[in-house]
Amino acid sequence: MRRLSILVSYDGTAYHGWQVQPGLPTIQSTIEKALSVIEGESVKIEGSGRTDAGVHALGVCAAFNLKNPIPTDNLRKALNRLLPFDIRITRVEERPANFHPRFQATAKTYEYRIWREEVCPPFLRRYVHHHPYPLDETAMIAAAARFAGEHDFSAFCSTDESDILGKSKVRTIFESKAWRDGETLYFRVRGSGFLKHMVRHLTGFLLEVGKGNNTAEDLVEILKGPPAKVAFSAPAQGLHQISVEYPLP
C-alpha cells in the first residue's frame, strides 16, 4: 500500500466547502470519486484543513492510500482528466506511511482580497469581496500587523462541533499584513493553524476598523480577553488558501 499526497488548486464557487457533506458537492467528495475510479474501489482522503463553501485554494494538501502502482506523474494526469476543470491537481508525491497532511503541517497561509473600485469586473466577482465604499485603509494596514504573535483567538472564530472537547484556541500568527495594490486591498496571514472561519472574522474586524467602528487598540483589548465574539465575518468568495508548509525531509 502506498501513501501519496496531492496538491490541489480549486475554484470553490460551485462547492459546499472541502469536507464531505451528504447530497452536496464538495471538493473532498469530488476528488475521492476520481481516485476511486483509478483504484477500482473506494478511496478516502485526508485534507490539510477545511475550507468553507465558496472559498478558493491555490495549494491544499491531501493524502490517501493507494494500491495502484501508477507513477505519480501519470496519476496527476489521470486525476485531472477525471476531475472538473475547477479542481486541478498540481503535484503528486510519494509519502511515508505515517504522513498526515493536517497534523504534520507547520504553517498555513491565507489571503483575503477586497476590490475597492466602484465597478468590479465580472470575471473577478467570484474571487474578491467587492467593497467600493470609503475605508481608512491606513488604519486597516496598521491593525492587520497587530494579529501577529501567539494569542487566544476565541473571539475570532465560529462555533465548531469540536468545541465540546475544550481544545485550546491559542494560535501563533507568524506574519500578518495588509496592503493596497492597484484596485485591490490584500490581507495575508501566515500562522501555525486557524480556527473555523477565523480568517474571515479577522478580515471582518479589519473592515470595521476601516469604517471607523473598531480600532487597533480595541484589538489589543479583545486579544487580552475574556473573549467576546467578533460579530463581523467577511464573505467567503474573497478568501484564498495560498499554501501549506511541512518540515523538510
30-37's contacts with Cβ under 8 Å and 24+ in sequence apart are 30/83, 30/84, 30/87, 31/6, 31/62, 31/79, 31/83, 31/87, 34/79, 34/82, 34/83, 35/64, 35/66, 35/79, 37/82
- Return the half-sphere exposure (C-beta side, CA atoms, 13 A cut-off) of residue 25: 10
Marked catalytic residue, from 11, 52, 160, 218: 52
Sequence-separated (6 or more) residues with CB below 8 Å from residue 165: none
CB atoms under 10 Å from CB of 2, counted, come to: 15
DSSP-based three-state secondary structure for 246: coil
Per DSSP, the residues of 67-118 read -----HHHHHHHHHHHS-TTEEEEEEEEE-TT--TTTT--EEEEEEEEE-SS
At residue 64, what is the residue type?
F
Main-chain phi, psi angles of 239, to 5 degrees: -95, 135
Of the candidates 248, 244, 247, the residue with the CA atom closest to the CA atom of residue 107: 244
What DSSP character marks residue 193? -
Is position 52 annotated as part of the catalytic site? yes
Point out the residues that are catalytic: 52
